[in-house]
């Protein structure tokens, strides 16, 4: 699949944005900053828009999605937008019966626990996701147009980050039927029926891979694969049971060809998981541009463990958003210093913005990051 000169990387110069430059290992004038879950319940303007619709209905409403995606960009002045959607949206498009319960997360009507369950799900052609993805593609395109307007006002290109769930994390929800603490049922299936596990995660790689392709083709300038729960696996199990399917999902993005005018060889790939400190050497084998780090490992230590030239993203503990300003500022100074160990650094939290966060704290944080020049 070939992207054209109409893609925002070329047409809206998002190639020259701070986020994309840092993703590719350049050090722009200022360290870029954005927040996982920057769109969402911490913003009163989000709560007002979301008052009437379910989360998954909202995700298929292009006008609403693009407006919600822009809210934190306008309010906080972050260096990137992340597409407002959810990791289970491609599964909805594939026809699975899933709801997102407020305060809990995704819940599946029929958990996938046996070889027979796996066969039922994997019989669905992942290409159906592409055929049914028009509301997603439409939402991405509208969002990139709104971002181009916002970029003109700001005088700085603002890229859109697309995303998908990694196969292990999606399987952790599917096998369990909903959120769980230790993902025991998913970990059990890995050992009980390795063939069924491989079939399921292979199918999920295709579903997430198609979802990523749809977003990039419609205008996303980079992508992030969320393997939020990978940290519940031992490194050897991660290597054999999770990594191959994550690699396969990322291949869908690597397969996209950029026009020569883009001045880059590929769409930047980022990865994030919670509690992945012991997995970083394995994650590094995914040949990523950016690795997200949670707050449990310092960025300089993470760089040592990654042992390869990647950009790091993170890693302020979300709990610090509730600390007195001087404590938060000191923590920011520390991660900016630790991030210098990497080829480039993108400031983010160690996980998502908690819903009860005071949004003014995030706005102030962005301003402080932008007050520090970062010429190499």
For residue 365, state whether it binds ligand CP3 (rule: CB under 6 A).
Answer: no
**Which residue from 163, 211, 238, 252 is in contact with ligand CP3, where contact means CB under 6 A?**
163
Tell me the backbone φ, ψ of residue 313, rounded to 5 degrees. Answer: -130, 130
Q: Which of residues 101-160 bind ligand CP3 (CB under 6 A)?
A: 102-106
Residue tagged 């950029």 (tokens)? 258
Part of the chain binding ligand CP3 (CB under 6 A), chosen from 36-44, 187-195, 308-316, 324-332:
36-44
- DSSP letter at 26 equals -
Q: Is 314 helix (H, G, I), strand (E, B) or coil?
A: strand
Looking at residue 353, the DSSP 8-state letter turns out to be P
- What φ, ψ does residue 162 adopt, rounded to 5°? -90, 165
Q: Is 41 a known active-site residue? A: yes
Between 25 and 355, CB nearer to ligand CP3: 355
Stretches 32-40, 187-195, 205-213, 313-321: which one binds ligand CP3 (CB under 6 A)? 32-40
Please tell me the distance from the alpha carbon of residue 291 to that of residue 281, in angstroms, as a whole number: 11
Q: Which of 16, 26, 37, 317 binds ligand CP3 (CB under 6 A)?
A: 37
- Of 84, 197, 238, 252, the one binding ligand CP3 by CB under 6 A: 84
219 within 8 A of 7, measured Cβ to Cβ: yes
Does the protein bind ligand CP3 through residue 80 (CB under 6 A)?
Answer: no
Binding mask 92-111 for ligand CP3 (x = CB under 6 A): --------x-xxxxx-----
Binding segment (CB under 6 A) for ligand CP3, from list 81-89, 130-138, 288-296, 323-331: 81-89
Residue 302 interacting with ligand CP3 (CB under 6 A): no
Shortest Cβ distance from residue 5 to ligand CP3 (Å)?
Answer: 28
**By CB under 6 A, residue 296 contacts ligand CP3:** no
Looking at beta carbons only, is 55 or 290 nearer to ligand CP3?
A: 55
74 binds ligand CP3, rule: CB under 6 A: no
Q: Does 352 bind ligand CP3 (CB under 6 A)?
A: yes
Q: Which one is catalytic: 79, 86, 227, 294?
A: 86
Q: Is 188 a catalytic residue?
A: no
Query: Is residue 37 among the annotated active site residues?
Result: yes
- Distance, in Å, from the CA atom of 129 to the CA atom of 111, rounded to the nearest integer, reads 20
Q: Which two tokens stand for residue 49?
A: 């828009």
Q: Footprint of ligand CP3 on residues 165-224 (CB under 6 A)?
A: none
| Residues found in the chain | 376
Give the tokens for residue 71.
């809210």
Phi, psi of 164 (to 5 degrees): -155, 165
Please report, as residue ranges, which positions from 253 to 272 form the binding site for ligand CP3 (by CB under 6 A): none
Q: 286, 271 in Cβ contact below 8 A?
A: yes
Provide the mask over 225-254, with x wherever binding to ligand CP3 is found by CB under 6 A and - wherever it is not. Answer: -x-x--------------------------
What does the alpha-carbon distance between residue 3 and residue 197 come to, in Å, rounded to a whole number? 34
**Beta-strand pair 290-292/345-349:** unpaired
Any contact of residue 41 with ligand CP3 (CB under 6 A)?
yes
Q: Using alpha carbons only, what angle is made at residue 35 by residues 264 and 288, rounded to the nearest 5 degrees?
A: 35
Q: What is d(CA 126, CA 346) in angstroms, rounded to the nearest whole number?
A: 33
Q: How far apart are CA 70 and CA 139, in angstroms?
A: 12
What tokens does 242 get? Answer: 């999770």
Task: Name the one range near ligand CP3 by CB under 6 A: 79-87, 235-243, 260-268, 310-318.
Answer: 79-87
Q: How far is the CB of 352 from ligand CP3 (least distance, A)?
A: 4
Residue 168 or 252 with smaller CB distance to ligand CP3? 168
Per-residue CA distances from 103 to 41, 60, 85, 238 (Å)? 11, 20, 16, 28
Rounded to a whole number of angstroms, the minimum distance from the CB of residue 179 to ligand CP3 is 6
Token pair for 148: 């181009």
- Spatial contact of 100 and 107, defined as CB atoms under 8 Å apart: yes
For ligand CP3, give the closer residue by CB, 86 or 374.
86
- Classified as helix, coil or strand, 319 is helix
| Among 46, 75, 79, 173, the one annotated catalytic | 173
Question: Which residues have a catalytic role annotated?
Answer: 37, 41, 50, 86, 173
Q: Which residues bind ligand CP3 (CB under 6 A)?
A: 36-41, 50, 55, 82, 84, 86-87, 100, 102-106, 163, 226, 228, 352
């Amino acid at each position: 699949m070939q992207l054209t000169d109409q893609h925002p990387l070329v047409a809206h110069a998002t190639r020259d944005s701070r986020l994309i430059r840092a993703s590719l290992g350049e050090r722009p004038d200022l360290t870029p900053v954005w927040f996982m879950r920057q769109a969402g319940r911490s913003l009163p303007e989000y709560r007002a828009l979301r008052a009437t619709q379910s989360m998954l209905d909202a995700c298929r409403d292009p006008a609403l999605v693009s407006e919600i995606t822009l809210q934190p960009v306008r309010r906080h002045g972050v260096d990137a937008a992340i597409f407002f959607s959810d990791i289970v949206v491609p599964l909805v498009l594939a026809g699975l019966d899933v709801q997102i319960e407020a305060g809990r997360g995704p819940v599946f009507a029929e958990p996938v626990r046996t070889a027979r369950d796996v066969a039922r799900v994997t019989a669905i052609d992942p290409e159906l996701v592409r055929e049914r993805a028009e509301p997603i593609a439409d939402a991405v395109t509208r969002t990139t147009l709104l971002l181009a307007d916002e970029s003109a006002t700001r005088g700085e290109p603002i890229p859109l980050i697309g995303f998908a769930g990694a196969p292990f994390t999606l399987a952790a929800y599917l096998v369990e039927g909903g959120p769980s603490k230790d993902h025991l049922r998913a970990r059990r299936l890995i050992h009980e029926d390795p063939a069924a596990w491989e079939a399921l995660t292979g199918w999920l790689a295709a579903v997430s891979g198609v979802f990523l392709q749809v977003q990039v083709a419609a205008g996303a300038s980079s992508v992030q694969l969320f393997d939020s729960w990978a940290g519940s696996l031992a490194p050897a199990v991660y290597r054999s049971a999770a990594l191959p399917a994550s690699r396969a999902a990322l291949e869908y993005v690597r397969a996209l060809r950029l026009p020569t005018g883009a001045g880059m060889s590929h769409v930047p790939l980022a990865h994030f998981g919670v509690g992945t400190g012991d997995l970083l050497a394995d994650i590094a084998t995914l040949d990523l541009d950016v690795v997200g780090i949670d707050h449990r490992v310092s960025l300089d230590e993470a760089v040592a463990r990654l042992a390869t030239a990647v950009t790091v993203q993170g890693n302020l503990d979300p709990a610090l958003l509730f600390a007195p300003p001087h404590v938060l500022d000191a923590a920011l100074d520390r991660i900016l210093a630790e991030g210098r160990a990497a080829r480039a650094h993108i400031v983010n939290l160690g996980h998502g913005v908690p819903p009860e966060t005071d949004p003014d704290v995030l706005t102030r944080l962005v301003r402080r990051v932008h007050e520090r020049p970062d010429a190499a």
